[in-house]
Structures are given as C-alpha cells and as structure tokens.
Amino acid sequence: KVKALGKNSYMFFKKEMTEKLKKHIEIERILREAITENGFKLLYQPQVCTYTGKIVGFEALLRLKNHSISPAVFIPTLEENGMIIEVGRWVTKEIINQIALWRNNGVDVKSIAINFSAKQLDDSNYITFLENELKKKNVESKYIEIEITESIFLDKKEETITFLNKLRRLGIKIALDDFGTGYSSLSYLTFLPVDKMKLDKSLCDKFLEMENIAIMDNIISLAHSLNLEVLAEGIEDIEQYNRLKVGGCNYIQGYLFSKPVEVTEVEKIYNTVYLEKKLP
Ligand code: C2E
Ligand code: MG
Ligand code: MG
Ligand code: MG
C-alpha cells in the first residue's frame, strides 16, 4: 500500500511522522521530568457573582513551570499515557495544602474548582485520597468543586454517576464544564448529579455575537429550572457581561475580570468587588 503512493510520498509521510513522534516524545519527557522535579504549578482564575460583583471562588489551572506548552497540548498527552492520574492527585493535594495556607492567613477563597479528566475515573481510590488530604489539612469539603465534562458519561455512565454521588455526599460540588461543545445534550441534565453548568466560551461568543440571545436565555432558564447554577466562561467584554446578567447568569469567569493569576496574587485580589463603576 505504501509502495503504491510512490517512494517520495512515503518518504514525506515518514519524515512528517518522525517529526510528530519526536515532538510527542519530547513532550512526554518534559512531563515525566515535571512529575519528578516538581515542575508543575497552578494558576487561579476568579469566578465573579453577577449580582454582588464578589469573587465566589477560583478555578485552578495547571501549568508547566519551565515550558510554555499549552494545557490544550499537554493535558491530552497526560490523559493518553495515564500520567494524568498521578498529576491529578498532585493538583488535588496542592490545592488542599494551599487552601489550608490561605485559611491560616485569613484569606477566604470560598471555593476552588479542580478539573477532573474522564481518565481519572481509573484512579479508583481518588475519593479516599481526596478525603484523606482534606482531613490531614483540616479543610472542609465545601471548599472543593470538581469540574467534569460530558465526555465522561460517554462510556462510563453508571460509574460516573456513582462517583459523582459519592463526592456530593461528602459535600463537594460538581460543575459540568464546557457546556455547549461536543456532545452537549440538554437531556443529560435531567439525570446528571451536578450543581453548576459552565457555559463554554465558544457558546457565549456565538450566541452573543449573533444576537441569538433567546437561545442563551432559554439555556439559563432551563438550567435554573433543574436547580443548576450557571457560570459563563471566557467572558472578555462588558456587553457580554451585561447581557448575561440580564439573562440571569449567576457567575462569570473571564479576562474581563482577570486572567488566571499566580498563587501569590490570589490573596491580593480575593476580596475585590467588581461594581458596575469599577469594572475594567
Ligand atoms: P477549562 O477547564 O474549560 O478552562 C478554561 C480555559 O479557558 C482555561 O484555559 C482559561 O485560561 C481559559 N480562559 C478563561 N477565561 C478566558 C477568556 O476570557 N478568554 C480566553 N480566550 N480564554 C479564557 P487553560 O488554562 O489553557 O486550560 C485549558 C484546559 O485544560 C481547561 O479548560 C481544562 O480542560 C484543562 N486543564 C487545565 N488544568 C487542568 C487540570 O489541572 N487537570 C485537568 N484534568 N485538566 C486541566
Ligand atoms: Mg474547567
Ligand atoms: Mg471550560
Ligand atoms: Mg475544557
């Protein structure tokens, strides 16, 4: 089959593959090194209540300390090779340690959201691990929110529901991330044990740009009627914010308020109230 393409295209194919493979191997090496050399860090992005203008919590977002490789690239790699399980535990532990430190300094961050990959369901002791870390640091479960995406239900529906119910029984909130991408289906929402819906940036941009606002309003109303709170992600301008507020959206996360910030910045901004006049 390869021969039929001719020698040149075979060589081109081979060269391209080699480049891709080299890059992939290099990223894996960087990630493996980051695990052993403490090469990961977390940034924190505030989530703002549209009614009070207060920060109600932060989402923790993983970064490599010494490389500018995007999470959009390295998270899928971590998922493919299973390293996300170890890294996911590191993220969880780091957040709990940090919450304890903040609390000791009188910094009330209220809630930190952790991104949880479908692959991490393979970590069968994750919940026990999480519970133990909370106990060790004397941190209450109300500080933790777990973000999942709908893809987690694709092949492991029952397992996922059991997992989420366990977390909720512990007092941990669940957010459905990236709503409006991929498999989004409103019917999911009726049986998923979740507390919050995060509207993806692409959805917010599309509907507000097209002035197809009725659909957005209806998604928000539907979520509310199912007792879900709604957060809009990736909000960059004030017009979007104002319209989402009118539509009843509970929370906003986006560059309009703040990019994800370094851990040392959190204690400087956690008390900010984004009043109408003070909006950037
Ligand atoms: P996500 O969970 O949907 O996170 C939101 C993404 O949107 C973040 O990208 C954030 O920096 C970006 N964002 C927030 N506001 C704005 C805005 O106003 N404009 C624009 N253009 N972007 C905005 P980031 O940090 O690159 O993370 C990408 C994805 O990587 C995350 O998407 C999440 O799925 C995954 N990820 C990040 N950290 C972790 C982690 O610790 N564990 C796991 N499993 N996944 C993670
Ligand atoms: Mg997220
Ligand atoms: Mg998202
Ligand atoms: Mg995402």
Question: What is the predicted pLDDT for the residue at 4?
Answer: 57
- Tell me the two tokens of residue 158: 């029952």
Looking from the CA of residue 256, the nearest atom of ligand 1 is 18
Q: Whose CA is nearest to atom 11 of ligand 1?
A: 260
CB 231 within 8 A of CB 199: yes
Q: For 232-261, give one letter per residue: b (16+ CB within 10 A) or e.
A: bbbbeeeebbebbeebebbbbbbebbbebb
Rounded to the nearest angstrom, the distance between the alpha carbon of 58 and the centre of ligand 1 is 12
pLDDT digits (tens, 9 = 90+) for 189-201: 888 899 999 999 9
Average pLDDT, the chain: 92
Q: How far is the CA of 134 from the centre of ligand 2 (A)?
A: 21
Confidence at residue 1, expressed as pLDDT on a 0 to 100 scale: 47
Q: What residues have their beta carbon closer than 5 A to ion ligand 3?
A: 177-178, 233
Is the pLDDT score of 34 beyond 90? yes
Min mean pLDDT across 4-13, 21-30, 47-56, 104-113 is at 4-13
Q: Which residue puts its alpha carbon closest to atom 8 of ligand 1?
A: 61
Q: How far is the CA of 3 from the centre of ligand 3 (A)?
A: 44
Please give the ipTM for the structure prediction.
Answer: 0.98
- Closest ligand to 199 CA? 3
Distance 275 CA to ligand 2 centre (A): 25
The residue among 214 and 44 whose pLDDT is bigger is 44
Which ligand has the shortest distance to the CA of 46? 1
Give which of 92, 95, 135 is closest to 117, Cα–Cα.
92
Atom of ligand 1 nearest to the CA of 88: 42
CA distance 38 to 73: 19
Q: Which atom of ligand 1 is nearest to the CA of 79?
A: 44
